[in-house]
Structure 1
């Protein structure tokens, strides 16, 4: 049996360190910036920049606040949005949409009506104006690149979970149904039937899954998003859609159990032990496994032990400054599996946040 041997105070101290590190991240040299298709330079590392990387960071902070009611954390989230809304409006795309997920919870918490126009306009854009792939999937539009006819695993976390939350918040049933449709479409084209793992992407242009890579962080977006979506939908236990999601989530978890390293971490290519171990994927898997157990979507001590082993691995790889190790930098679609093995490693906002999510989910057991 895995024993975590960690106290409530140790957990909160570690999460506070993770948040401090997260909120002070920047990239003054531009080493981790990405030049996109239209020539723009996108800052993937700095917290005070509107991109999915910081958006995931905000979500982890919000989850921690909801549990602990730590006002300092809430104030920092509010400041992030206040500062960004003073800047030039950001481009709407699949990835920048994830900021609306935390903003929806922030609106529920504060009742500040100045957030509503943003929530409504971004939700309207996603539902009506986002390009669709063949068969109606959310096209993975990002800064500087439309990625025509492409579906990516990342989309479930960045935009599908977001439109579901907006549908619930704004009482738009069509958003809720769209989210369910996107879950079905992405499962059909991205989950591997023989293993239960998920491919990074699918292209209708070439009719393939690009490199056929079971990319770690891409898989972890599913591990996070599926339990989150199930909780938001709150469907009856005998509902067929609920059963479908739980079945496929368990299918993924069963595969993950085979590939977890002795350290508790998973590899950046889940099924390839020659690829480096990766912290953000491990955090996402750990969160999803623990949350699915807490919500009784999965049962069995093997899942519990897998989640606790992942938690131990994370704690062993967070340093005294609150930095999670072994986190791969921003990763576009790879055409070869080898591509994923050479992505740089650094401290990144989403790695910090995904660790916050995992530790916060375990922290629930002390409340």
Structure 2
């Protein structure tokens, strides 16, 4: 028997294939699991006791976009973040949170239909796919058909970004792809309505045509056919992050072959955007609310969206692995902005299309359901590095 005492090898001499796959992350798995649990707890307990962020409509309705109990895009994205946690973990508490939310909203009655109130139906479609609850089906059928045939259109058939307090005549917003187009595609696949899926494909093409900046690869927040311009030409971070999220989601959903023309076009569009994002990532790992304006504040929700989309796209092979380090850096920066109460800090409030850059920079920071959800997406995708 040898009496040799093994000495640790200099880590720089270890071949990458022999190193543990999580060794270079500089992150603790248990810490991220705990952060996800606290994010969910905070998400479903967000409140606005002073009514500071309520939307008061001319007809007397009061729309709550901040707390968990409203019915808007903010809660819709929140539901999707929780669903993605359930999808990876099977956490029964996460499932119950989603089911209870829909049961409560159905009892209250449906809101008026617009681009943003469609957002929760993406998660409802996934729940129906899993549990076959027949009570969900009429809602999916009715809202899916409204998006397809009832939603106001712009020139060239684009989905007009109508919201609670504005019809936004002839306007395209990058938010629309996440809030209405992705739900339409999922409902179309689920209910065997291929014309829904084809319409969703067309919407991606129309929105790319008018919102993707050919000079930078980044996206403008909005476009109007009434005057034919991009408003403030704002390269707004959260609007861009919806794109970074939704293209990998859409590609995964459709499962198009690698030589499919639409897939190749969407992949190249995403890669152009992510290449541009690499130039604007701050040393902290976050991005600023106006991507190319160093005087604007760093914004954590958009950064979480970028982290999720980049990490997922590299994992699924839509983007080269070279981009993964950027996504990891962003995810770790997002984790650093989750406080002890589970709140993702440095999140900007809901933001319309503005006519000046300064108006974007003046949007207040506050905890929001979509911010919590985008952090859930980012941390959940990051957690796959430990598997």
Out of 292-301 and 350-359, give the one that drifted further: 292-301
| Structure 2 residue 271 is matched with structure 1 residue 242 | no
Match of 1:337 in 2: 357
**TM-score (structure 1 length as normaliser):** 0.97
Q: Indicate conservation of the 8 Å contact 1:189/1:202, yes or no.
A: yes
Provide the aligned C-alpha RMSD in A.
1.4
| Structure 2 residue 35 is matched with structure 1 residue 24 | no
| Separation (CA, whole Å) in 2 of partners of 1:323 and 1:127 | 36
| Structure 2 residue 373 is matched with structure 1 residue 353 | yes
Q: CA deviation at 1:109?
A: 1.6
**TM-score (structure 2 length as normaliser):** 0.92
1:270 alignment partner, SS class: coil
Q: CA deviation at 1:88?
A: 2.6
Q: CA deviation at 1:3?
A: 4.2
Match of 2:342 in 1: 322
| Structure 2 residue 215 is matched with structure 1 residue 194 | yes
Provide, for residues 157-209 of structure 1, a one-character-per-residue CA deviation record: whole Å limited to 9, x for no partner: 00111100011100100000000000000000000000001000000001100
Match of 1:56 in 2: 77
Match of 1:113 in 2: 134
| Structure 2 residue 326 is matched with structure 1 residue 306 | yes
| Separation (CA, whole Å) in 2 of partners of 1:3 and 1:325 | 26
1:20-99 map, 5 Å = 20-35=41-56, 40-99=61-120
Task: Count residues with an aligned counterpart.
Answer: 366
| Separation (CA, whole Å) in 1 of partners of 2:143 and 2:385 | 35
- The unaligned stretches of length 5 or more in structure 2 are 1-22
Q: CA deviation at 1:23?
A: 0.4
Q: Indicate conservation of the 8 Å contact 2:63/2:70, yes or no.
A: no
| Separation (CA, whole Å) in 1 of partners of 2:221 and 2:258 | 30
Selected match of 1:165 from 186, 193, 197: 186
Distance 1:280 1:252, change over 3 A: same
| Separation (CA, whole Å) in 1 of partners of 2:297 and 2:55 | 22
1:59 alignment partner, SS class: helix
| Structure 2 residue 165 is matched with structure 1 residue 144 | yes
Provide, for residues 327-353 of structure 1, a one-character-per-residue CA deviation record: whole Å limited to 9, x for no partner: 000111111000000001011110000
1:140 alignment partner, SS class: coil
Compare CA radii of gyration and give the structure with the larger one: 2
Match of 1:271 in 2: 292
Selected match of 1:218 from 229, 239, 242: 239
Q: CA deviation at 1:35?
A: 3.8
Q: CA deviation at 1:37?
A: 6.7
2:119 alignment partner, SS class: helix
Distance 1:196 1:39, change over 3 A: farther
| Structure 2 residue 303 is matched with structure 1 residue 287 | no
| Shift >6 Å, 4+ stretches | none
Q: CA deviation at 1:39?
A: 6.3
| Separation (CA, whole Å) in 2 of partners of 1:3 and 1:153 | 35
| Separation (CA, whole Å) in 1 of partners of 2:116 and 2:110 | 15
Selected match of 2:124 from 75, 87, 103: 103
1:2-21 map, 5 Å = 3-21=24-42
Distance 1:348 1:292, change over 3 A: same
Q: CA deviation at 1:30?
A: 1.2
Out of 347-356 and 27-36, give the one that drifted further: 27-36
